[in-house]
């Protein structure tokens, strides 16, 4: 069969023809991904928390330490909120009320953080308390919002071939949000990145837009937000809080995914924070971030994600996740060595335009970043698989708890991100508060900072993907296995 025939056959397999009760309308699956994009929109800005508090509010490097307790709080609230979610039900459904509540609790405190006055008369300890408290509320709100996203994987569709389609929607919508943040915050459209106005305009637009996205996602899941798809039957066992901890002991596929996502999450969090300095202090052109992210998302990212979803739908989510982890390990290591060779730590090196060196480095980095759209978003599809696997094995339907178990490990591990960033800054000579803590842009800082940035952006992610590759080698939930499980569950729910 030729390539066009394969694509046509794939579309026929995944579209909803009304004959398979496990399937849902493709537009609903794609648009439900807007809920995830809405939740992540705030964290695209909070991902630059250390840059914002250090270089804009000039509160020093130590406010970055807030990331540690906030990540721990995030991890602790996950099982609590997830257990509540699995038991929660209202006349408006299970998912939509949680989505709306989570959105409001995320966006309102985010507005306070990024509208915070600069050079105010508020004592520095007072600023630390206010900003930390707002961050804590965002953590709780975002946990509710993202619990609904992860749990929704089990009901938005029960067809394992359709589940990767969600990743397509998530990648596209997340890419649009990331491009917006890149253009407005780093592209000098409104002003320099260290100007407060840039962040204030960004958060106002992001909050309003994200609330609209949540409402659209609520419409998308409406036809599945009813007891037919999530009510515990008389044969099922109601989830308990202790199941959160038992899962890690009894569910082998879940343990593999915990290792994989935990290692990736740490690397991704550090890379997201430090990559701005790759442009500002190694390539010597921080505004290039905006152009890079737009080109990467549109010209490279979309073709890559279409290829990834094509193979994930044909071979299974786990197969594609393992394959892309191998590629990411190689490309990240390559990025480090190529950058070290082409741009050594030299105070005399200055950015002179789009040279061969810059193009080579950016191309490698773009291929790596684009591949993340596949692996990161396929985790949600595999979460739905794990929910069905656990339901068939133990009789417990608990999408919230399983989703929270996956994120719990990642949040515990990434709680150290703030300490890692502080360590890099202290190692590189930045300390204190005020102007002395500001990292100058488009200049060579020192050799320690130069190599630290490269290690954080390339080497740490490469190690994370290597761990993922090893952890997922014997993952048992193949496409054929999931087809068997979901057909069994469809009969149990009397959908067939």
CATH classification of 27-226+241-492 is 1.20.1250.20, yes or no? yes
Between CA 288 and CA 488 the distance in angstroms is 52
Contact 373, 465 (CB under 8 A): no
Whether residue 237 has pLDDT greater than 70: no
In this predicted structure, what is the pLDDT of residue 475? 84
Q: Which range among 20-34, 86-100, 241-255, 429-443 shows the weakest confidence by mean pLDDT?
A: 429-443
Helix, strand, coil in percent for the chain, rounding step 5 = 75, 0, 25
Q: What percent of the chain has pLDDT over 70?
A: 82
Helices (H), 343-429: 356-394, 399-414, 417-428
What 8-state DSSP symbol labels residue 274?
A: H
Whether residue 236 has pLDDT greater than 60: no
Helices (H), 88-123: 95-114
- Which pLDDT tens digit goes with each residue over 123-133? 767 777 887 88
- Which pLDDT tens digit goes with each residue over 450-479? 999 999 999 998 998 998 888 888 788 888
Question: What is the band of 232 on the pLDDT scale with cuts at 50, 70, 90?
Answer: very low
The tally of CA atoms less than 13 A away on the side-chain side of residue 21 is: 13
In this predicted structure, what is the pLDDT of residue 274? 86
Positive or negative torsion for Cα 443, 445, 448, 453: negative
- Which pLDDT tens digit goes with each residue over 254-301? 888 888 888 888 877 788 778 888 888 888 877 787 778 777 776 777
Q: What is the separation of C-alpha 358 from the centre of its chain, rounded to a whole number of angstroms?
A: 27
Between CA 496 and CA 494 the distance in angstroms is 5
Question: What is the band of 1 on the pLDDT scale with cuts at 50, 70, 90?
Answer: very low
Residues 6+ positions from 96 with CB-CB distance below 8 Å: 218, 221, 222, 225
- Which pLDDT tens digit goes with each residue over 105-152? 988 888 887 777 776 677 767 777 887 888 888 888 888 888 888 888
Question: What is the band of 430 on the pLDDT scale with cuts at 50, 70, 90?
Answer: confident
The length of the chain is 496
Between CA 472 and CA 319 the distance in angstroms is 9
**Domain range summary for the chain, segments of one domain joined by +:** 27-226+241-492
3-state secondary structure 437-474: HCCCCCCCCCHHHHHHHHHHHHHHHHHHHHHHHHHCCC
pTM of structure: 0.69
Token representation of residue 186: 């780093």
The tally of CA atoms less than 13 A away on the side-chain side of residue 439 is: 33
The b-or-e profile of 374-394 (16+ CB within 10 A means b, else e) is bbbbbbbbbbbbbbbbbbeeb
């Amino acid at each position: 069969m030729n390539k066009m025939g394969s694509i046509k056959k794939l579309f026929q397999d995944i579209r909803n023809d009304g004959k398979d009760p496990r399937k849902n309308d493709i537009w609903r699956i794609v648009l439900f991904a807007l809920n995830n994009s809405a939740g992540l929109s705030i964290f695209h800005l909070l991902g630059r928390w250390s840059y914002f508090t250090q270089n804009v509010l000039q509160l020093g490097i130590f406010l970055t330490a807030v990331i540690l307790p906030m990540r721990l709080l995030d991890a602790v609230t996950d099982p609590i909120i997830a257990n509540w979610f699995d038991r929660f039900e209202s006349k408006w459904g299970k998912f939509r009320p949680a989505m709306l509540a989570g959105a409001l609790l995320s966006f309102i405190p985010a507005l306070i953080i990024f509208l915070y006055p600069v050079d105010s008369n508020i004592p520095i300890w007072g600023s630390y308390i206010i900003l930390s408290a707002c961050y804590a509320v965002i953590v709780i709100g975002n946990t509710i919002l993202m619990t609904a996203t992860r749990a929704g994987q089990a009901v938005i569709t029960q067809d394992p071939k359709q589940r990767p389609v969600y990743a397509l929607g998530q990648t596209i919508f997340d890419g649009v949000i990331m491009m917006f943040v890149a253009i407005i915050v780093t592209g000098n459209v409104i002003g320099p990145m260290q100007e407060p106005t840039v962040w204030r305009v960004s958060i106002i637009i992001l909050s309003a837009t994200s609330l609209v996205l949540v409402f659209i996602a609520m419409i998308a899941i409406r036809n599945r937000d009813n007891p037919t798809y999530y009510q515990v039957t008389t044969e099922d066992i109601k989830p308990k809080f202790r199941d959160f901890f038992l899962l890690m002991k009894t569910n082998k596929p879940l343990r593999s995914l915990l290792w994989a996502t935990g290692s990736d999450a740490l690397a991704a969090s550090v890379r997201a924070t430090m990559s701005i300095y790759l442009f500002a202090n190694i390539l010597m052109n921080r505004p290039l971030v905006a152009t890079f992210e737009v080109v990467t998302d549109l010209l490279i990212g979309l073709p890559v994600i279409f290829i990834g979803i094509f193979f994930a739908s044909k071979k299974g989510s786990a197969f594609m996740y393992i394959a892309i982890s191998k590629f990411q390990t190689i490309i990240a290591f390559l990025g480090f060595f190529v950058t070290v060779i082409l741009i050594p730590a030299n105070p005399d090196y200055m950015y002179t335009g789009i040279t061969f060196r810059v193009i080579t480095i950016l191309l490698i980095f773009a291929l790596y970043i684009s591949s993340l759209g596949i692996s990161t978003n396929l985790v949600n599809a595999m979460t739905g698989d794990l929910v069905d696997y656990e339901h068939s094995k133990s009789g417990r339907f608990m999408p919230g708890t399983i989703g929270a178990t996956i994120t719990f490990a990642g949040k515990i591990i990434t709680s150290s991100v703030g300490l890692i960033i502080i360590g890099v800054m202290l190692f590189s000579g930045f300390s204190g508060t005020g102007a002395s803590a500001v990292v100058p842009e488009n200049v060579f800082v020192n050799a320690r900072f130069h190599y630290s940035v490269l290690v954080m952006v390339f080497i740490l992610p490469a190690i994370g993907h290597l761990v993922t590759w090893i952890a997922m080698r014997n993952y048992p939930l193949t496409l054929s296995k999931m087809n068997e499980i979901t057909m069994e569950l469809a009969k149990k729910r009397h959908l067939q």
